[in-house]
Each structure stands twice: as structure tokens, then as C-alpha cells.
A and B are shown apart, each in its own frame.
Chain A
Amino acid sequence: MEFNIYDFTSFTKWIDESLNAAMSPFWVMITEMAIIGVAILAFYALVGLFLVYAERKVCAFMQNRVGPNRVGPFGIFQTIADLLKLLMKELVYIKNADKLLFNIAPFIVITASFLAIAAIPFAKGLHAIDFNIGIFYVVAVSSLGVIGILLAGWSSNSKYSLIGAMRSGAQIVSYELSVGLSLITMVILSGSMQLSTIVEAQANGWFIFTGHIPAIIAFVIYMIAATAETNRGPFDLAEAESELTAGFHTEYSGIRFAFFFLAEYMNMFIVASIAATIFWGGWMPFHVPGWEGFNTVMDYIPPFIWYIGKTAVIIFIMMLFKWTFPRLRIDQLLTLEWKYLLPINLFNVVLMAFIVLMGWHW
């Protein structure tokens, strides 16, 4: 077996084959699931912790502050210290809260964000599962999280939480539409819902360049809607701390609160990586048709780096959103979706279909 950081297909195949040689297919499946589960869990924790740190540093720099700088060099272990603190904190139970739902809610939220990672192609051949309806799966799974938020708000037996949950419900149900439609625009362009095929199709130029104006519009809409879907500022109405103290997770403490917190950052990572995959070519290096030398140089950068880099840029843009804008009000939030994003989006789908029909893409 040869290990190749440009193509993981042979690596994963080698694992599969050597496992198959050792045991029966049923056990192979179980073992593979376990390996992937552990790998994703480790990745999840790592990315989550890093994102929390990155967000704090980025916002600190925007605000002329230093940010965390006490634990470790440049404070890089700050989030680990915070995590330890949260682990040791008391889990406060609320009188008359619905115990079962109250306990389950953070797990639903975190599982929903966990499920979506499975479908994301990190590099060539490096994805847990390559559905032929990948986009559909990701959209479906990532909208599950709202159930957890609604449950959290309802079961906390707190008025602030309930208002937060109501807001969150209205918000995610509406913005799901925009996310879906802007992704459909790109599906029309690529002609496939399979994430690996979509990435391969961008070998000669990322969709945001080859898709002309509709792709750019779809990207902008996706960015707005995705920020809203992850409950981040300026769409953080569900937790709006100046209005609802902490919204749906007001009553949560300790590690359960950390789950909500981590899930928010993971959702951000997931929507950013979907945006990177679909609009910016995922792990595909930056190619300009005709510039052979340039393209080969670009190819030397491993795909995984490309993927992480693109995701990081998109996450940075989302952070810039959060730390610049004031929060919207709930009715304005819905106005933005139903009066602006949705009509533009529908028009955009038609425009894209027209362009594809005329063969103007590529």
C-alpha cells in the first residue's frame, strides 16, 4: 500500500481490504463504523476547540484587544481549560423542568451536527460515505438540530428559553428554504447531487467562477442563510443575550451547555465546508484553464490543505458578519427571507437553468 496525501482512495481501500481479509463482512462493517466514529469524534473535538479559540482571537483582533493569552503560548490551551472547567461544573436541574427532554436536547443538537460531517469530502477519497444524494442528506441532517433547540426551550420551564426556542423554530424553518434553493441552483449547474462528483466537476474552475452571476448570487444567499441556520450573529435571535439573556440555553449549565456551544461551532464548520465544497471546489486546487505551469504548482499543495484553507476563509467571513452587524429583529428576519432571499433565489434558479440549457457554463 502506498500512502499518498494527494489521493486517499488507495489508503481507504487498503484498510477495507485488510479488514476483509481478517474477518467476516458483518464484523468488517462494525469495525469500520467504529474506526470512522472515533476518527470523526476526534476531529470534531479538535475542530470545535480550535474554532472556539479562533473565534475569540479573531473577534479580539477586530476589537483591538489581545484575546485569550494566559493559558499556554498565545492562549492556545484556553479552550481546553474552559472545557475542563465546564466538565467540572455542576449540572443544575430546574424545578418542574421536563427531565427527559431537558437531558436529551443537547444530545440531539450535537448529534445532528455530527451526522453531517460524515458526508463531507475532506480530500480525494477521504470521506466517510459518498451518497449519491449527498447534498440532500446534508441539508436534511443539518436541519435536525432545530428539534433539539425547540426541546431545550420547551423543557427548561423558563420563559426566556421558550421565547428563544420559538424564534429559533421560525428562523430555521424559513432559512432552510434558502439554503436548499441556493444549493439546488448549484445542483443544476453540476448536474449531480453527489458531493464527490461535484468536486470533480470543478477541476477546470470552481463553480463560483464558471457559474457566472447566478453562482455568485447563490453563494451570497447561501452565506446569509447558512449564517442564519447556525444561529450566529447577526441572526442569533434564539440566544440574543441582550434580550433573552441566553435564549434557549439559559437554564443549561456545565457540559450540557458546552454541547450547545460546541454544536454551534461545528454547525458553522459544516456549513462553511459545504460552501467550500459546492462553490469553491472543495479540495480541488485552484486551476486556471490554459495555465499549465500554474496549475501544476497548485497541484503540489495537498487537497486537504486546500479544503481547510477554503473552509477557514469562509468561516472568517462568517465571523466578520457576527462581529460587525447588529442583530435583526424577528419580523425583519422573516422579511429578509420571504421578501428578499426567496424571490431572488427562485429567479436565480430559473436563470441558472437557462444558462445551463444554453450551455454557457464552462
Chain B
Amino acid sequence: MRGLINYFSGMFNGIISLVKGMGVTGKYFFTSPVTIVTQQYPENRKTLEMFDAFKGEVTMPHNENNEHKCTACNICQINCPNGSIEVVSKDVVNEEGKKKKELDKHHYNIGMCSFCGLCIKTCPSNALAWGQEFEHAMFTRNKFVKTLNNEGSKLIQKKGVE
């Protein structure tokens, strides 16, 4: 007798649990499309905004006079665990006749970057920042190597020094 009771109660509990589950999926079916969470990616490109902190790529912000803050100190290159930064500097002689190191090219290989953020955190002059660009796919690998400083850009001269 007990076995019989167990047989039927097991069956009914099972059926109830199944119906509950169907209730969940059914609810979402009938409340869609309100509950849809998918982002329509290529279509929403215009309105898509990444968070400020988003680590898209390493960039070197320039001001309106095409000036950046990099002093070519090489610290970012030393700190990068993957060797994806190469700082090329050149020596220039300023008006006073002193030799000074200046940034020539700041190469950044995004293909080797693991977005650890050490370069940005350790840069003593805050010359680097995260960019929000995330569509990085390229057809050839050498396009991954970017030069972060713009053509003909200069170091920002601190006020009061000259």
C-alpha cells in the first residue's frame, strides 16, 4: 500500500515540478519581447557607449595643439609584461644648447597586449590612457602595431618653465 502511495505521490510531485518549470519558460515566452536582453550589436553601433573605464586599447591623448605628455622615460616599456610597447626616442638640442631626450615614436602592439594596465598605471607623467575602441579585427598582423603619438606631436611644455 505504501509503495502504491509513493508511486502516485512521486508521480504527482514530478508532474507539478515539470509544470512549474514550464511556467517559467512560458512566462518569458509570453512577456517577450519586453524581456529580451540581446543587444543588436552592429545596428546599435552609433548609440553603443562603453564605460569610461573600459579597456579597449592603450592610447596617448593629445591636446588641441597636438601635444602629448610623454617624456620618453621608457618606464612603460620596462613594465609591460608582454613586450608590446617600444619607445623610440631621439636626442634633440634645445636653444640653450643642452641635449634632451624626446619622444620620436611610441610603438604599441595591440596584438600582444593583454590589457593589464601596468603601462598606464606606472607612467610617471600620465601620458597614456585607455581608449574605448574595441573593434580591433584586422586582416594583417602588422596593422596591430600602432604608433601612439601623432605625426609631428610635441611634449606639452609646462607653464612657467620657458
A324 touches B35 (CB 8 A): no
B36 touches A324 (CB 8 A): no
CA gap between A324 and B24 in the complex, in Å = 8
B56 to chain A, nearest CB (A): 26
B38 touches A61 (CB 8 A): no
CA gap between A66 and B39 in the complex, in Å = 9
CA gap between A323 and B22 in the complex, in Å = 9
Chain B CB within 8 A of A63 CB: yes
A63 touches B28 (CB 8 A): yes
A343 to chain B, nearest CB (A): 9
A323 touches B25 (CB 8 A): yes
B21 touches A62 (CB 8 A): no
CA gap between A188 and B33 in the complex, in Å = 45
A325 touches B38 (CB 8 A): no
Q: Which of B24-43 contact A (CB under 8 A)?
A: 24-26, 28-29, 32-33, 35-38, 40
Interface centre among B21, B22, B29, B37 (most CB of A within 10 A): B29
A61 to chain B, nearest CB (A): 4
B43 to chain A, nearest CB (A): 10
- A320-B26, A340-B11 as given contacts; A64 in contact with B37, CB under 8 Å: yes
A62 touches B25 (CB 8 A): yes
Chain A CB within 8 A of B18 CB: yes
Give the dominant DSSP class at A's interface.
helix
Give which listed residue, B22, B33, B38, B40, contacts A324 with CB less than 8 A: B22
Give which listed residue, A64, A65, A66, A325, contacts B21 with CB less than 8 A: A325
Q: Which of A197-234 contact B (CB under 8 A)?
A: none
Interface size on B, residues (CB 8 A): 16
Chain B CB within 8 A of A58 CB: yes
A70 to chain B, nearest CB (A): 10
CA gap between A293 and B22 in the complex, in Å = 36
B36 touches A66 (CB 8 A): yes
A320 touches B22 (CB 8 A): yes
CA gap between A325 and B17 in the complex, in Å = 10
Give which listed residue, B22, B25, B26, B36, contacts A65 with CB less than 8 A: B36
Q: Please, which residues of chain A bring their CB within 8 A of the CB of B38?
A: 64-66
Q: Please, which residues of chain A bring their CB within 8 A of the CB of B32?
A: 61-62, 64
Q: Please, which residues of chain A bring their CB within 8 A of the CB of B35?
A: 64
CA gap between A61 and B32 in the complex, in Å = 6
Q: Please, which residues of chain B bring their CB within 8 A of the CB of A340?
A: 11
Q: Please, which residues of chain B bring their CB within 8 A of the CB of A323?
A: 25
CA gap between A324 and B26 in the complex, in Å = 9
CA gap between A64 and B24 in the complex, in Å = 12
Interface string of A37-73 (1 = CB under 8 A from B): 0000000000000000000001001111110000000
Q: Please, which residues of chain A bring their CB within 8 A of the CB of B36?
A: 61, 64-66
CA gap between A314 and B26 in the complex, in Å = 14
A61 touches B29 (CB 8 A): yes
Q: Please, which residues of chain B bring their CB within 8 A of the CB of A61?
A: 28-29, 32-33, 36
In the complex, the 9 A-B pairs of residues with the closest C-beta atoms, listed nearest first: A61-B32, A62-B25, A324-B25, A62-B29, A324-B21, A66-B38, A61-B29, A64-B35, A324-B22
A/B interface sample: 24 pairs, CB < 8 A: A58-B29, A61-B28, A61-B29, A61-B32, A61-B33, A61-B36, A62-B25, A62-B26, A62-B28, A64-B28, A64-B32, A64-B36, A65-B37, A65-B38, A66-B33, A66-B36, A320-B22, A320-B25, A320-B29, A324-B18, A324-B21, A324-B25, A325-B21, A340-B11
